[in-house]
Structure 1
Amino acid sequence: MPNFYEFFCGGGMARAGLEPEWRCLFANDIDPRKGSAYAANWGSEQLRIADVGSLRAVDLPGRADLAWASFPCQDLSLAGAGAGLDGARSGAFWGFCSAMRILAAQRRAPRLIVLENVAGVLTSKGGEDFAAICASLQGLGYRFGALTIDAAHFLPQSRPRVFIVAIRRAHALPAWLVSPGSPSHHASAALQRAAAALPPQLAADWLWWRAPEPPRANLRLADCLDGEPNETRWHSVQETERLLAALSPASRRDVELARASGERAIGALFRRTRPDGAGGVRVQAEARFDGLAGCLRTPGGGSSRQFLIVVAGDETRTRLMSPREAARLMGLPDAYVLPARATDAFHLVGDGVAAPVVRFLSERLLLPLIGLDRERDLAPRAKSA
């Protein structure tokens, strides 16, 4: 059975997508509260709470086939201040690179590395940060490519993310997993521009990964909601009116269309926060009734907690989304143990990676890259050279 390390593990959502085909050797996060959630769900045997940059060789057991790193996105997000990889949070990527160098020096470098982050990683600092990530992987001895995948293919949440997948240059590369000279299904226009802008020395190690188009999700937002009565109270009429007053013109029209239909409509309402170009921020509410929630964020992120909006004729009600509902939108089962405090639960979920997307990547790309697939017997194999 292949092994993996999970860096920036949070509540172990990458692990939720990788297991049972993979076995976790090591998990790391700097946040003790997230570590408590991880331990509640996975145990603490493999977990180490520490700054990734402080890890030593003795902290990293065995030899993993895969190092998964969903490194912090705050400085790369469109809602952030634009610090990029120089920022205090997204700059933790360099600590991860240090850990990989430690492993390489001991001939224990993982065969595969997966980096997951927001789409802003492609455009941060005019593409310089993306090129810096690629240069770091090249310097560690890897070839690399990327895919853009939206969790909306699997779940009722719009959550586009970039997955940079790197393979050790010394390992065989199955030709059928690479698209020759052309992008695959999972290549947004922004990714194609970022790849085209790489300097020749980095472009020489660039790969367009070939993975099938995932199926469209068969779940809708309403399928992930708690039944009545709900632990989260409905807003007063005044609170709902304040939210509706902040809607963008397009969203106001959508609400009016929902009312005019005469049918019960369930939607998601969220507030976007973006720099206003004058040193401040602007906030605008948006609602959608397409069966999807907007991208879940941490409570302190660029978008606050999401609301539910229910329109039934002349009656419109709103309330905050519950932590359990948010967890379902990330593909976590109801048996997953969430922190008791709602704020901690939303930090955990909003910072995570959607488990079904991880599972798709594992089955369709990562396992085949190491010579396994889900249909085969994933029995223990001989240690690779």
Structure 2
Amino acid sequence: MARAGLGANWNCMFANDFDPKKASTYSANWGGDPLLVADVADVTSDQLPGHADLTWASFPCQDLSLAGDYVGLDGKRSGTFWPFWHLMKNLMAEGRGPRAIVLENVNGAITSNQGEDFRAIASALSGAKYNFGAIVIDARHWVPQSRPRLFFVGFRSDIHIPTEFSGVATDTWHPESLVDATSEMSQACKKHWMWWNLPIPPDRKEHLIDLIEDKPTGCDWHSPKETKYLVSLMAPHNRQKLNDAIATTKANKSRMVGGVYRRTRNGQQRAEIRFDNIAGCLRTPSGGSSRQTIIHVENGAVRSRLLSPREAARLMGLSDNYILPKNYNEAYHICGDGVAVPAVRHLIQNLIEPVLDASDRIMLAAAE
């Protein structure tokens, strides 16, 4: 999805993923791109061609989130950051360090291991003489899904950064946790730190209901018994939300769609629903509770089913032409483990591309 967000103006020189299912989906959509299916720890710099303008890395998030108990960068999965960074250091030693580096992960990277992981990434970038900053971008600006993600963005020291792209922390892109994390960085890191400025996107026009398929593909509606059981898992305040939706749609002869996740609260499974026109954050289907359910209420009648793979893809900003695996869990995994396309595009279009273009103009002027 990062590839989709980059757009047609970018040429992919090298792609890598360990998961063969993800790799096959990538090839189905970007068949012309060179792709190596391997552990990043086994990738060597001589497999990476030329001089890249940008290296993008989205390393596994499980150890940097509640799902991984905040194990952090020493975890088996998120620890893949270090072999990736070793690869980058080898490129730098060869004089081929990328002009820009983007590292994407969950917000848990800000606070995991009492902030040690955040400081470790910051130290890696500053130690390599990259001017860098971090920004939190929530996909809800563009698609009806609550999906905040952390993006480290660094530019090589020889890249000129116009003043309009860096200023002070803003509430939209720099939450309090991020501001607090920067205060704990070393002085060496602070010398390279940038508060990236991005324009605030216009108000989103699409709601969750607008992305729901009339005839779902890849899943079926629950039976009345299954829907009744799902409702039985709701605590009183969630049941009240459903009752209000039933009453509203009856009165207005309308329909509403809510997103539901099953969670364990105090040792008891609960179904938590939201009718705020936005879906909860998509996850990978490591278990039944990880897959998002929708409740459809029309003229007071209630139906439920799993979110379809195509609906999940739409929530990630993917077009309906994007090729998904036929297996439900595989398709849902692709979407739940991805990065929202419009969030990538906003970052690329409003920071990466203009900074690199400005630096190119300065270099061309100096050469004349």
TM-score, shorter chain, exceeding 0.5: yes
Q: In the alignment, what sits opposite 2:247? A: 260
Indicate how the Cα distance of structure 1 residues 229 and 282 shifts in structure 2: closer, same or farther if over 3 A, else same: closer
Q: Deviations over 1:250-293 (max 9, x none)?
A: 3222111111212321111112458x7xxxx7643211111111
Indicate how the Cα distance of structure 1 residues 146 and 184 shifts in structure 2: closer, same or farther if over 3 A, else same: farther
Whole-Å Cα distance in 2 between the matches of residues 283 and 63 of structure 1? 51
Indicate how the Cα distance of structure 1 residues 184 and 238 shifts in structure 2: closer, same or farther if over 3 A, else same: closer
Q: In the alignment, what sits opposite 2:228? A: 241
1:291 paired with 2:277, answer: yes
Whole-Å Cα distance in 1 between the matches of residues 261 and 343 of structure 2? 23
Q: In the alignment, what sits opposite 1:81? A: 69
Counterparts of residues 87-102 of structure 1 (less than 5 Å): 87-102=75-90
Q: 1:217 aligns with which of 195, 201, 204?
A: 204
Q: 1:311 aligns with which of 275, 278, 297?
A: 297
Whole-Å Cα distance in 2 between the matches of residues 303 and 361 of structure 1? 32
Q: Unaligned 5+ residue runs, structure 1?
A: 1-12
Whole-Å Cα distance in 2 between the matches of residues 267 and 120 of structure 1? 26
Q: 1:166 aligns with which of 114, 134, 154?
A: 154
Indicate how the Cα distance of structure 1 residues 163 and 282 shifts in structure 2: closer, same or farther if over 3 A, else same: farther
Counterparts of residues 115-134 of structure 1 (less than 5 Å): 115-134=103-122
Asked if 2 retains the 8 angstrom alpha-carbon contact of 1:184 and 1:209, the reply is: no
Q: Which letter maps to 2:42?
A: S
TM-score, structure 1 length as denominator? 0.88
Asked if 2 retains the 8 angstrom alpha-carbon contact of 1:76 and 1:82, the reply is: yes
Indicate how the Cα distance of structure 1 residues 19 and 260 shifts in structure 2: closer, same or farther if over 3 A, else same: same
Q: Unaligned 5+ residue runs, structure 2?
A: none
Per-residue deviation, 1:56? 1.0
Counterparts of residues 129-144 of structure 1 (less than 5 Å): 129-144=117-132
Asked if 2 retains the 8 angstrom alpha-carbon contact of 1:79 and 1:273, the reply is: no
Whole-Å Cα distance in 1 between the matches of residues 310 and 263 of structure 2? 22
RMSD between superposed Cα atoms in Å: 2.4
Whole-Å Cα distance in 2 between the matches of residues 169 and 248 of structure 1? 54
Whole-Å Cα distance in 2 between the matches of residues 160 and 53 of structure 1? 28
Once the two structures are overlaid, the 10-residue window that deviates more, 86-95 or 40-49, is: 40-49
1:108 paired with 2:102, answer: no
Asked if 1 retains the 8 angstrom alpha-carbon contact of 2:59 and 2:105, the reply is: yes
Q: In the alignment, what sits opposite 2:178? A: 191
1:369 paired with 2:355, answer: yes
Counterparts of residues 298-337 of structure 1 (less than 5 Å): 298-300=284-286, 304-337=290-323
Indicate how the Cα distance of structure 1 residues 282 and 216 shifts in structure 2: closer, same or farther if over 3 A, else same: farther
Q: Which letter maps to 1:304?
A: S
Aligned length: 361
Indicate how the Cα distance of structure 1 residues 303 and 237 shifts in structure 2: closer, same or farther if over 3 A, else same: closer
Asked if 1 retains the 8 angstrom alpha-carbon contact of 2:169 and 2:179, the reply is: no
Once the two structures are overlaid, the 10-residue window that deviates more, 233-242 or 364-373, is: 364-373
Q: In the alignment, what sits opposite 2:47? A: 59
Whole-Å Cα distance in 2 between the matches of residues 362 and 353 of structure 1? 13
Once the two structures are overlaid, the 10-residue window that deviates more, 305-314 or 158-167, is: 305-314
Asked if 1 retains the 8 angstrom alpha-carbon contact of 2:255 and 2:299, the reply is: yes
Per-residue deviation, 1:44? 5.5
Provide the secondary structure at the position in 1 that maps to 2:67.
coil
TM-score, structure 2 length as denominator? 0.92
1:156 paired with 2:147, answer: no
Provide the secondary structure at the position in 2 that maps to 1:337.
coil
Whole-Å Cα distance in 2 between the matches of residues 47 and 108 of structure 1? 20
Q: In the alignment, what sits opposite 2:215? A: 228
Whole-Å Cα distance in 1 between the matches of residues 157 and 287 of structure 2? 37
Indicate how the Cα distance of structure 1 residues 99 and 341 shifts in structure 2: closer, same or farther if over 3 A, else same: same
Q: In the alignment, what sits opposite 1:344? A: 330
Whole-Å Cα distance in 2 between the matches of residues 248 and 117 of structure 1? 32
Higher percent of residues as helix: 2
Asked if 1 retains the 8 angstrom alpha-carbon contact of 2:13 and 2:33, the reply is: no
Q: Which letter maps to 1:341?
A: N
Asked if 2 retains the 8 angstrom alpha-carbon contact of 1:76 and 1:121, the reply is: yes
Q: Deviations over 1:116-159 (max 9, x none)?
A: 11111111011111001111111222121111111000001110
Whole-Å Cα distance in 2 between the matches of residues 291 and 372 of structure 1? 40
Q: Which letter maps to 1:359?
A: R
Q: Deviations over 1:293-312 (max 9, x none)?
A: 11000001795111110123
